[in-house]
Every structure is written in structure tokens, then in C-alpha cells.
Amino acid sequence: MSASGQKPNSMNWGNRLLLVFIVFGIGMCYLVYRSMSTHFDLVESDYYKQELRYQDVIDNHRQANALSAPVTIRQEEGTLVLQLPEEMKNKSITGEVYFYCAYDSKKDKKIALKPDTGGMQSFGTGAVVPGSYTVKIKWSAGEKSYYSEKSLSVL
């Protein structure tokens, strides 16, 4: 015991405060390092240009919703099958299918829409890397344009 009757303390409040600041500084440096090394993908590389044309997407989506049935996309043994509604059979159709992966832009894939006379198109699963996608389908038949989005998990 010391002369004042208290047990000697190896660390006074000043040293403890200094230790807290050092640990805080190291923690902040680590967080800055982690945030600088994290890769962020934009939703679209030309996001602002896409946003200006979004009214067209809304109108085309409304056109697609007015059809007798929605667009369907499903995975079967080794293939992805896209089926357009009944009204699209035997029509000349142009467009594209965009497989958008929200968490990895390297998995994104655009494929030309070329359905058969029954309004169906098949893709080999090798064309798309396994993952979760939002499938964005844009197509035109005659004078009308259509747009539809579907969620898909490719295994």
C-alpha cells in the first residue's frame, strides 16, 4: 500500500484515455481502408440517361400488362424457356432480354429476343452464369412496344 492508503494503480486515467483514443484511431483507419477497397457497381452504367427515358418504360410496361397473360421465364433441364403471351404468336418480334444481376455486373447478359412462331425462345443455361437475376424483356410487335420484368434464379 502507498502512503495515502490506496493500492498503487499501474494505469492512471490519462493512460486509459490515451489507450481509448489509440484503439479508436486504429478502428477508424481499418474502416476507411475497408470502405476504400469495396467495389460498388452502379445499377446501370448510363443510369441518368436511362432515368430520362423511364416514362417509355412505364408506358411499355402498361402495354405488357394489358396482354392476356404475363411473360413467363422458367428453368428446365439445361435450358431457360421464355414464353410470350398468346397475342405474340405468329408476329414479327424484335427486342432483347437483359439478365441483370444486382450484386455482380460481370454476370449481366443481354441476348437478342428471337422467339419462334409460338412466341417461345430457349436459352442454354450456359449462356447465363448461375445466380439471381432480374430479367428485363423489351420487345416490339408491329407499332407497339412492350416491357416486362421477372425474377429468376439460375441454378
The arithmetic mean of pLDDT across residues 109-130, rounded, is 91
pLDDT at 16: 92
- Exposure letters 51-73 (e unless 16+ CB within 10 A, then b): eeeeeebeebeeebeebeeebeb
Shared-domain flag, residues 147 and 119: yes
Task: Name the pLDDT band for 37 (thresholds 50, 70, 90).
Answer: confident
The arithmetic mean of pLDDT across residues 87-105, rounded, is 91
Task: Name the pLDDT band for 2 (thresholds 50, 70, 90).
Answer: low
Shared-domain flag, residues 31 and 101: no
pLDDT at 43: 60
Shared-domain flag, residues 6 and 72: no
Shared-domain flag, residues 23 and 91: no
Q: Which position has the higher pLDDT, 25 or 51?
A: 25
Shared-domain flag, residues 81 and 127: yes
Shared-domain flag, residues 93 and 134: yes
For residue 103, give the 3-state DSSP assignment. Answer: coil
Longest dimension (CA), the chain: 102
Shared-domain flag, residues 101 and 139: yes
Best CA proximity match to 141, nearest among 73, 71, 90? 90
**Residue 92's domain is classified under what CATH number?**
2.60.40.10
Q: The domain containing residue 99 runs over which residues? A: 47-154
Q: How many CA atoms lie within 13 A of 86 on its CB side?
A: 4
Number of domains forming the structure of the chain = 2
The arithmetic mean of pLDDT across residues 24-37, rounded, is 94
| DSSP state letter for 86 | G
Shared-domain flag, residues 31 and 54: no
Q: Is a pLDDT exceeding 80 seen at residue 93?
A: yes
Shared-domain flag, residues 66 and 118: yes
Shared-domain flag, residues 85 and 148: yes
The arithmetic mean of pLDDT across residues 17-39, rounded, is 93
Q: Which position has the higher pLDDT, 33 or 105?
A: 33
Distance between CA atoms of residues 38 and 56, nearest Å: 34
Would you give the end-to-end CA distance of the chain in angstroms? 71
Are the CB atoms for 113 and 94 separated by under 8 Å?
Answer: yes
Q: Which three cell numbers stand for residue 18?
A: 490515451
pTM of the model: 0.70
Task: Name the pLDDT band for 42 (thresholds 50, 70, 90).
Answer: low
Best CA proximity match to 80, nearest among 133, 147, 138, 139? 133
The arithmetic mean of pLDDT across residues 120-131, rounded, is 88
Shared-domain flag, residues 110 and 34: no
Shared-domain flag, residues 138 and 74: yes
Q: Each residue of 5-17: pLDDT tens digit?
A: 566 667 799 999 9
